[in-house]
Amino acid sequence: MARSLNIRRLRLFCVVIAGSVFGSAAEQDSMAPALVSERKESSVPSPDLISLSANRDVPSPTIDEEELAASEGVPSPVMDEDTLYVKTQDEYALLCRDRHHKTRYSKEERSALRNKSKCYIDRNAAIKRRRMRTDNDVHEFCNHSVPNRKLQCVTFGDRVCVPKLCFAGFPCLNQVMLSDTTEEIGEKAFEGCENLNEVKLSSNLVKIGTRAFADCRMLKLGTLPCSVIAIGDGAFDGCSSLTEVTLPVGLRNIGKRAFRGCTSMEKITLPDKVTTIDEEAFVGCESLKEVTLPRVDTIKKNAFAWCEHLERLEQTEYLANIGDYAFYKCKSLQMTVLPYELGSIGVGAFAYCTGLSELKGQEILSRIGVGAFEHTKLEVLDLSDCWSLRFDNFLKRCKRQDQLMRILDNLFWDIDTYCANCSAEGIAPDLERERRNRIGDKCKVFLPKDLGNWEFDAKSGKWKPHAESTNL
């Protein structure tokens, strides 16, 4: 009896399980059309992907050009088949072929879109580069980011920032259009774009970043916007096609090497708010002929070195300090009277300035660096009114005539360094020959009255007293 009851229970259990299994299968069969429809819907690409797709027949969504150019001063994009419309970080990474950023596009899509010659960057595009911590990171990143080799024109939309390294090294880029809402150009943004020759700057631009246009050899700029107050270090370094740049009135700071190697620049006028010319700011500007310094009081190291055609310095009334080698090898520089406010001349400041023949110092001059007039071949150096020199190292310890001779030598060359180098090499120094080479055939130096006047004798290679008074 108990056995038959257990068999019945087992049969009932099997019937219940079978019913549940077949019921679930029926439900799945009834839901199959819905699942298929869902999968079909999910296979349709998103609108962002459609706008970049190169192999799909789905039409691209229409773009409201009026909305893009709603803000005043924003350039209206020309949306044609040759223009890439960038509005996401993925699209920007695709444009720059950034290997650190994995895009979601197929190989065929990437190949087609890299052939675009124009680019419009939307205001919603978050253009960023990987954060750099050291210079090695920058070099590594640039090596892994192969630029688009066909892109020629880039247009920035409204409220789009220009970040660092965004288009650095694009070889075919020749035109950049910024909207009037752009206030800053990032570090190295267009560095190495060798064919870039046309740039429309924002009328509200405030700062040009470090090396923003460095090595853009074809770049030509006439006038910077009036809103610019700072030019970063090396901003136009190596821009050899710049002929003349009109700096804005509100400009306050010119960074180191800002215009280094601008070999075509002929004239520069600094605004009143610029009081300091930083190191190597105009070094190597071979064609520069005239510089106007209305309020500049300090010229730092190598600021105008190797400007071989520099002839005149205008409006130097406020100039107080000339740094080391500031006018090194400015062979055409002509000057007869040093500025009245000038108190310090650095080491080698006028070395190899062979155009100088006569030079007179003012009362305030208190320091002259070693070799300040080396290889200038000056005929007359009048320091008779420079009484402040007695309180500096220049004439502080002139108790004996041989010490005075050493100080006169130091005006034209670093005799101590020369003797030390000769001793290190085991060579006996020929002081007379070196004096003739560095001072010239004849030179007269007029010192304050109690120290007398001195003339260099080229035959003997020594200094001798001179009775003639100065006419400067």
Choose between 181 and 260: higher pLDDT. Answer: 260
Which pLDDT belongs to residue 65?
44
**CA 428, CA 435: separation in Å to the nearest integer?**
15
pLDDT average, residue stretch 164-183: 87
- Residue 315's CB is within 10 A of a number of other CB atoms, namely 15
Which pLDDT belongs to residue 439?
83
Which pLDDT belongs to residue 132?
44
**Looking at the predicted structure, is the pLDDT value of residue 249 above 60?**
yes
Which pLDDT belongs to residue 467?
72
pLDDT band per the 50, 70, 90 thresholds, residue 453:
confident
Please state whether the predicted TM-score (pTM) of the whole model is above 0.85.
no
pLDDT band per the 50, 70, 90 thresholds, residue 318:
very high
**CA 88, CA 110: separation in Å to the nearest integer?**
15
pLDDT band per the 50, 70, 90 thresholds, residue 274:
very high
Spans of all domains in the chain = 42-160
**Looking at the predicted structure, is the pLDDT value of residue 125 above 80?**
no
pLDDT band per the 50, 70, 90 thresholds, residue 57:
very low
Q: Judging by beta carbons within 10 Å of its beta carbon (0-12, 13-18, 19+), is residue 202 exposed, middle or buried?
A: buried
pLDDT average, residue stretch 323-339: 94
**Looking at the predicted structure, is the pLDDT value of residue 50 above 50?**
no
**CA 213, CA 229: separation in Å to the nearest integer?**
17
Backbone phi, psi, residue 130, to 5°: -60, 140
Which pLDDT belongs to residue 391?
47
Taken in order 286, 287, 289, 294, the sign of the CA dihedral is: negative
- Per residue in 202-240, pLDDT (tens digit) is 999 999 999 999 999 999 887 899 999 999 999 999 999
**Looking at the predicted structure, is the pLDDT value of residue 314 above 60?**
yes
Which pLDDT belongs to residue 34?
43
- Of the candidate ranges 41-55, 328-342, 444-458, the one whose mean pLDDT is the lowest: 41-55
pLDDT band per the 50, 70, 90 thresholds, residue 373:
very high
**Looking at the predicted structure, is the pLDDT value of residue 369 above 80?**
yes
**DSSP type of residue 62:** P
SS3 state of residue 369 = coil
Choose between 284 and 421: higher pLDDT. Answer: 284
* DSSP strands (E only) in 385-458: 442-446, 453-457
Which pLDDT belongs to residue 412?
87
**Looking at the predicted structure, is the pLDDT value of residue 317 above 50?**
yes
Listed in sequence order, the DSSP H helices in 71-152 are 89-96, 107-113, 135-144
Which pLDDT belongs to residue 53?
29
pLDDT band per the 50, 70, 90 thresholds, residue 415:
confident
- Of the candidate ranges 117-121, 127-131, 335-339, 460-464, the one whose mean pLDDT is the lowest: 127-131
**Looking at the predicted structure, is the pLDDT value of residue 188 above 50?**
yes
Which pLDDT belongs to residue 230?
96
Which pLDDT belongs to residue 304?
97
Q: Are 100 and 129 in contact (CB under 8 A)?
A: no
- Percent of the chain exceeding pLDDT 70 equals 67
**CA 304, CA 329: separation in Å to the nearest integer?**
9
**Looking at the predicted structure, is the pLDDT value of residue 26 above 50?**
no
Which pLDDT belongs to residue 16?
52
